[in-house]
Amino acid sequence: MNNRLSEMRIPRPADLVTIGYQIFIIITISFHFFAVPNAEFLLIYHLVIVAFLFWLPYAKVNKLIRWLKTFNPLIIIPTNFKELHYLVHNVNPVDFDELLIKIDYAIFGVHPTVWLEQFSHPIIVEYLQIVYASFYFLPVILVLILCKRKDHENINFFVYIIVLGFYVSYATYFLVPAIGPRFTLDDLQLNPVMGLWATQPIIDALNFLEDIQRDAFPSGHTEMTILTMIYARRYSKKYYWILLIIGSSLIFSTVFLRYHYVIDVVAGALLAYVVYLMAEPLHQRLKRFIN
């Protein structure tokens, strides 16, 4: 029995976090089975992910397996996000937009997205919409920088940060579902968001890929951008200085383009700080568990 235990291969910390989130979703779906569309399929899908990640350490190493060991979150995280469209509102059908709107208004005396419309210009909108869409690539670029250096230890740790950051934010959407000001405050806006050439195709692509999500609070764009900036400062100063401009613009764009309330951005920044504080101690515990 002891020999069998010693021969067990435990998934790396990033994959253990992924497994933990799949178990959380499996439990959530099980408790709301009849409220969730395609619940049977979703349960099977999450069980397959768990089985795959437990199998991966035993797989015969080749280029594909090596890639999957490092980059499987690129496949799993987007699908986990996509399914939130079917989960969050059916699990918790109470939207918190009214409360978030009141908090913003109490702080500023105006609705920030409506007030910012006076500064809207197609060139500004175009720039901010492109920057907003770059969110999906910013963490990956830092991973690729580390891959170029063959810095495997920091690659694994930052992938773990990415996974932890995304899944913590996904879990919070169930607690505070909110659809965002582009839907709730649209009747107060004088004009739609209008850029030059790329803005509308990007909006259409994001709407197609994401569906309508209750993912306003907290701002995952803010959380993950700040986390990427923190670790870019540690791993690549050149990339950090680029991110300082792009990342700051991206965070501003979340409100300017009406995706988020200001309180969402504040919550996203606080969540980034919480993840940063908990990441290292949790990582050490997971490593001890593996060893």
Q: For the chain, which residues make up each domain, given as ranges?
A: 2-290
In angstroms, the Cα distances linking 68 to 71, 74, 209, 231, 281 are 5, 9, 23, 23, 26
Extract the runs of DSSP E, i.e. beta strands, from 106-157. Answer: none
Predicted confidence at residue 268, as pLDDT, reads 98
**Cα 200 to Cα 224: distance, rounded to the nearest angstrom:** 24
Residue with more model confidence, 115 or 1: 115
Per-residue pLDDT tens digits for 166-215: 999 999 999 999 999 999 999 999 899 998 999 999 988 888 877 789 99
Yes or no: say if 250 and 215 are a contact pair by the CB < 8 Å rule. Answer: no
Residues sharing a CB contact under 8 Å with residue 269, sequence separation 6 or more, in sequence order:
222, 223, 226
**225, pLDDT greater than 60:** yes
Instruction: Tell me the C-alpha distance between 159 and 130, whole Å.
Output: 24
Structure token pair of residue 33: 């089975």
pLDDT given for residue 145 in this prediction: 96
Here the tokens at position 73 are 């979150």
Please tell me the distance from the alpha carbon of residue 24 to that of residue 21, in angstroms, as a whole number. Answer: 5
Q: What is the model's pTM?
A: 0.93
Dihedral sign (CA 280, 230, 219, 26): negative
Query: What are the pLDDT digits (tens) for 40-67?
Result: 999 999 999 999 999 999 998 899 999 9
291 pLDDT tier (thresholds 50, 70, 90): low
Cα atoms in the 13 Å half-sphere on the side-chain side of 109: 0
Give the pLDDT band (50/70/90) at residue 147: very high
| Cβ(37)–Cβ(86) below 8 Å | yes
